[in-house]
Amino acid sequence: MNRIFSGVQPTGNLHLGNYLGAIRNFVGLQNDYECIYCVVDLHAITVWQDPKELVGNTREVTAAFLAAGIDPKGSIIFNQSQVSAHAQLAWIFNCVSRLGWLNRMTQFKEKAGKHRETASVGLYAYPNLMAADIMAYKATHVPVGEDQKQHLELTRDIAQKFNTDFGVEFFPIVEPLIFGEATRVMSLRDGSKKMSKSDPSDQSRITFTDTADEISKKIRRAKTDPEELPSETDGLKERPEAANLVGIYAALSGQTSADVLQEFGGRGFGDFKPALADLAIEKLAPISDEMRKLMADPGHIDAVLADGAERARALTDPILREIHEIVGLISS
């Protein structure tokens, strides 16, 4: 059986990278798979979160899921902390995973930076919790952006080691689903950095809550080079900012970058940026309008999460019970 699991952290500033790299793909997969989409609040608290903001951000990601077109009846939408199997399996995986494996994780190195000694233990063990998220459902496929590839390789290593250590064929070896023209959307201010929720510059990203006017301004001010657009994708090499904007246009319009260059090759950014701004507004405005409506009724959002959590627990309960039996933990 094929089962999809993916997660998004409620850390605010949900952006175009989250949409094109992940959330939009979540929507399309619903027709072909059983899908479980999680707002990973336990991952969010691996770095400091203001409690009130965390509540709001959790509702905001949920609203984005719904507004983008995830069907809460067909798919399961919930927040991670409501399903205790995630944290329970994470502990077991803490004992399967190796320090040497975690030491190689680039996301930890980037997030902890020079402050390794004062980073939380949770930030270090973050990938083990992510493996637990996926394996608590024995999910087979995980749609994510490019930046999560290494974490999914670790998930495979943990599942494999568990199976080998206990002499079972219990956990599936998960397949990443990284697809679309924008698996790594870059900052609008610096083509060498990925678009990120934590970039201090709000100009670096287009968010789900930006107005049409803000989207338009951010695209107009986006960093570019003085050249015209090339007619072929080869011409985008060494031009990270141009490649990024063309990739965004391609992803939003459902074309390839080559298609976009056929249309815009030989034209300057003075032509291209307004076209991109119009397209981004056309695609994002209906989602942000719907999000605003949803956010006005937090009771409804919380009810969606509660319903999803209950259905999620029905899936994890028997799996966790089997895991306990395999490991030798008595349960009643």
Least distance (Å) between residue 51 CB and ligand AMP:
19
Specify the 3-state DSSP secondary structure of 5: strand
CB of 293 to ligand TRP, least distance (A): 26
Annotation says 197 is catalytic: yes
Q: Which of the residues 52, 138, 193, 197 is marked catalytic? A: 197
Neighbours of 179 (CB within 10 A): 12
| Residue 198 CB, nearest approach to ligand AMP (Å) | 9
Size of the site for ligand TRP (CB under 6 A): 13
Q: Which residues bind ligand AMP (CB under 6 A)?
A: 8-9, 17-18, 21-22, 144-145, 147-148, 183-185, 194-195, 197
Here the tokens at position 298 are 């937090």
Which stretches within the chain are classed as H helix?
16-18, 24-29, 41-44, 51-68, 85-94, 99-103, 106-112, 121-135, 149-166, 212-220, 240-253, 257-264, 269-295, 298-327
Task: Confirm or reject binding of residue 45 to ligand TRP (CB under 6 A).
Answer: no
Q: From the CB of 270, what's the least distance to ligand AMP, in Å? A: 26
Assess whether 218 carries a catalytic annotation. Answer: no
**For residue 130, which of 40, 45, 48 has the smallest C-alpha distance?**
40
Residues within window 125-144 making contact with ligand TRP, judged by CB under 6 A: 130, 133-134, 142, 144
Whose CA is closest to 129, among 162, 95, 94, 99?
A: 94
Positions in 168-187 near ligand TRP (CB under 6 A): none
185 binds, among ligand TRP, ligand AMP, none (CB under 5 to 8 A by kind): ligand AMP
**Quick one: what does residue 18 bind among ligand TRP, ligand AMP, none, with the CB cut-off 5 to 8 Å set by partner type?**
ligand AMP
Name the residue among 218, 226, 215 with its Cα closest to residue 188: 218
Q: Is 194 a catalytic residue?
A: yes
Residues 6+ apart with CB under 8 A from 4: 26, 29, 33, 34, 35, 36, 139, 140, 141, 142, 143, 177
- Give residues in contact with ligand TRP (CB under 6 A): 5-7, 9, 40, 43, 130, 133-134, 142, 144, 148, 151
Q: Which residues are catalytic?
A: 111, 194, 197
